[in-house]
Amino acid sequence: MLSLRPIVVNDDMIVLGGNMRLKACKEAGLKEVPVIKASDLNEEQQKAFIIKDNVGYGEWDWDMLANEWDAEELVEWGLDIPNFVIDDLGTAEEDDFDVPDGGIETDIVLGDLFEIGEHRLLCGDSTDSDAVAKLMNGQKADMVFTDPPYGMKLDADYSGMKSEIFKGLSKNKGLAVVNADSQFTDYWINKLKHNNVQTFSAKKQADVYAQDIILGMNGCAQFELVTPIGRAAISLSLPGQHNVSNALVSATLALHVGATLDDVRNGLMSMPHVAGRLHVKQLTNQVKILDDTYNANVGSVNAAIDLLSSFAGRKILVLGDMAELGEKARYYHEQVGEYAKQKGIDHLYTLGVLSQSASAVFTDKGRHFSCLVQMVEFINQQILPEKHDVSILVKGSRSARMELVVKALEDSPLGKLERFREQIAC
């Protein structure tokens, strides 16, 4: 057996293939085993080999896989990823707690720091850099959770809060990259007058900007990249005009650290698709799904609607709830519905609670569902007889789990119909 499937290691003698065989050999008392050293495999190839070699043979550490590997890669390499379902999440219950009329009396004041075991808790303002420095005590955060006002009209001036990040820049070596298309550009530029600043824009001239932007049939943008060191023709591999801005800021940073224009062009052209990030899937010859289910806020939904509106034929928006929008959540959902209507979207179907405010805007061309199965059945009934092109955008916050809608559509009669046609053609 070992002569047919020897142990495979890398140059550091880390086992890439054969952990279970090596364990069995040790338990059997063997002193030597045949080994192949895979010196010609780079890091990515080693990761792929580990998965491919273990498919069908070994056991899996699902927590490690979730943190270290991309799910689409794992499936492509042959791993059957199970669906983990939590049957009982429990029920949240009100504790009948009300803040007393006079408030709660406490000796805690701003600046008080509590050390609880390995944890540090500060009473302070997270937008105050001095308070953050006191809490972190010279350490860097492993992860930061923020709730900025993404992509919506602001009812207050948050520019000061967002500019706090620039305080960490070195006056001599640091680079502040500023979006010249932002409503706060002038404010930030004024704050950064003693720093090295570069601007980027998808709408006008800046240090780095795009001109002659064209969206192709696949929704991907082509444009001329204009930089201080020259120009380059760019063809993006990711759909959506909003990705032009993402490409521009990436180009600005890459050029600053020494990349050439060829490096930038090749990098942008070869950007891989990320699961749930506006991934265009051709479900049938006539039907495409825009899988943008990873997350949602007002700005990202509007950007995805812009892409949907650029496709020919019938256009359908399938929207789940957008989370963490505060007291005006229903208003923002309604605004998204209005924007979709202005952009010529034909139908808006919603799933969840808050999203109903969006589909209500569409009156007879909008419909709300409380059940995924009913929604998918309805979409199938609407589309199966369709003879023209249909584009379906599926979007929602992470908590809405709208990727289940995409999966259900792929497994529905609509998706199976095209696979059946392909079998007949073969």
Same domain, 308 and 252: no
Total domains, the chain: 3
pLDDT at position 422:
43
Give a yes or no: residue 111 inside a domain.
no
361 dihedral zone (left: phi>0; alpha: psi -120 to 50; beta) = alpha
Same domain, 222 and 305: no
Residue 151 has pLDDT above 70, yes or no: no
Give a yes or no: residue 386 inside a domain.
yes
Give a yes or no: residue 225 inside a domain.
yes
Same domain, 265 and 210: yes
CB 348 within 8 A of CB 338: no
Report the length, in residues, of the chain: 426
- Strand 220-227 to strand 208-215: parallel, antiparallel, or no bridges (unpaired)? antiparallel
Same domain, 261 and 288: no
pLDDT at position 421:
44
Q: Angle between the 261-269 and 242-256 helix axes, to the nearest 10 degrees?
A: 140
Same domain, 238 and 346: no
pLDDT tens digit sequence for 45-93: 777 777 666 655 555 565 555 555 566 666 665 555 555 444 555 565 6
Average pLDDT in the 124-145 region?
Answer: 75
pLDDT band with cut points at 50, 70 and 90 for residue 149: very low
Nearest to 323 by CA among 393, 401, 404, 398: 398
Q: Give residue 25's domain range.
A: 7-76
CA distances from 83 to 375, 377, 400, 407, 412 (A): 21, 22, 16, 12, 18
Rounded to whole angstroms, how far apart are CA atoms 20 and 7?
A: 10
Rounded to whole angstroms, how far apart are CA atoms 388 and 77?
A: 35
Same domain, 283 and 418: yes
Domain limit, last residue, from 218, 236, 269:
269
pLDDT at position 313:
92
CB 256 within 8 A of CB 229: no
Same domain, 167 and 265: yes
pLDDT at position 64:
57
Same domain, 193 and 213: yes
More confident residue, 146 or 207: 207
Q: In CATH, what number is assigned to the domain containing residue 214?
A: 3.40.1190.10
Least-confidence region, from 82-91, 244-253, 333-342, 400-409: 82-91
Average pLDDT in the 219-235 region?
Answer: 94
Give a yes or no: residue 224 inside a domain.
yes
pLDDT at position 335:
93
In this structure, is the dihedral angle defined by the CA atoms of residues 309, 234, 202 and 154, taken in order, positive or negative? positive
pLDDT at position 144:
57
Which residues fall within 8 angstroms of residue 155, CB to CB, at 6 or more apart?
A: none
Same domain, 258 and 283: no
Domain limit, last residue, from 39, 54, 76:
76
Residue 210 has pLDDT above 90, yes or no: yes
Same domain, 283 and 420: yes
Domain limit, last residue, from 23, 45, 76:
76
DSSP 155-217: SS--HHHHGGGGGGS-TTT-EEEEETTSTTHHHHHHHTTTSEEEEEESSS--SEEEEEEEE-T
Give a yes or no: residue 307 inside a domain.
yes
**Highest-confidence segment of 90-104, 132-146, 293-307:** 293-307
CA atoms within 13 A on the CB side of 263: 11
pTM for the structure as a whole: 0.56
